[in-house]
């Protein structure tokens, strides 16, 4: 089981469930897709063939941990790489999904080293609260990868701004934890 923790740029430490580290098929695929350099079709084919296995392992990790959550959220993205993991988690735990309450303007990327959490909160992510944010006791952020945690920190900040309690538990589930 691959469970670790990460300190977000805001100083909050959260649990991270991840199937792989930044190396191997998934890490190579995500790096290629992120940078759009050296596109090799076989990398995509190999990664997509492993998605069912990655979904299963991620769900098993969360289940084995005993982490109980009453909501999930995924960062808004122009790519659909997180969707299989979101689907697998919602298939096992039919909880409230806050993903659709977020959109993005498409102006800045979290992966850029100069981008800050505040940039994402104030200039990139748009949150349209649905009124259920104050009821969140624990939330699972689902994404395909995590590098620095800026996107996760921005989601948390926006949900708290909309009323999610400060003591709500947060964990993150990703396919690959990048270094």
Counting other chains too, the contacts that 24-28 makes at CB distance below 8 Å and 24 or more residues apart are 25/50, 26/50, 26/54, 26/175, 26/176, 27/176, 27/178
Strands (E), 28-152: 71-73, 96-97, 102-104, 125-127, 138-146
The answer to whether residues 52 and 59 touch, using CB atoms and an 8 Å cutoff, is: no
Count helices and strands (H / E) in the chain.
5, 8
Name the residue with higher pLDDT: 20 or 64: 64
The answer to whether residues 158 and 127 touch, using CB atoms and an 8 Å cutoff, is: yes
Tell me which residue range forms the domain holding 54.
3-177
Name the residue with higher pLDDT: 30 or 158: 158
Q: Tell me how many domains the chain contains.
A: 1
Q: What is the pLDDT of residues 42-52, one digit of tens each?
A: 888 888 899 99
Give the C-alpha separation, 17 to 24, whole Å. Answer: 17
Q: Are strands 125-127 and 102-104 parallel, antiparallel or unpaired?
A: antiparallel
Residue 147 phi/psi, 5° resolution? Answer: -115, -70
The pLDDT value recorded for residue 15 is 96
The pLDDT value recorded for residue 22 is 67
Q: What is the pLDDT of residues 121-136, one digit of tens each?
A: 999 999 999 999 999 9
**Lowest mean pLDDT: which of 14-28, 83-97, 102-116?**
14-28
CATH number at residue 135: 3.40.50
């Amino acid at each position: 089981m691959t469970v670790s923790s990460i300190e977000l740029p805001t100083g909050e430490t959260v649990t991270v469930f991840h199937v792989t580290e930044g190396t191997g098929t998934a890490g190579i695929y995500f790096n290629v897709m992120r940078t759009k350099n050296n596109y090799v079709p076989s990398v995509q084919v190999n990664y997509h063939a492993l998605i069912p296995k990655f979904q299963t392992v991620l769900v098993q990790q969360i289940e084995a941990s005993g982490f109980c959550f009453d909501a999930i959220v995924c960062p808004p993205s122009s790519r659909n790489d997180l969707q299989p993991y979101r689907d697998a988690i919602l298939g096992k735990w039919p909880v409230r999904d806050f993903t659709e309450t977020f959109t993005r303007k498409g102006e800045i990327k979290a992966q850029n080293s100069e981008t800050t959490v505040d940039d994402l909160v104030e200039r990139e992510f748009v949150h349209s609260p649905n009124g259920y944010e104050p009821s969140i006791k624990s939330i699972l952020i689902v994404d395909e990868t995590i590098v620095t945690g800026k996107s996760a920190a921005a989601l948390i900040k926006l949900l708290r701004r909309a009323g999610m309690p400060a003591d709500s538990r947060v964990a993150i589930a990703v396919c690959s934890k990048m270094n």
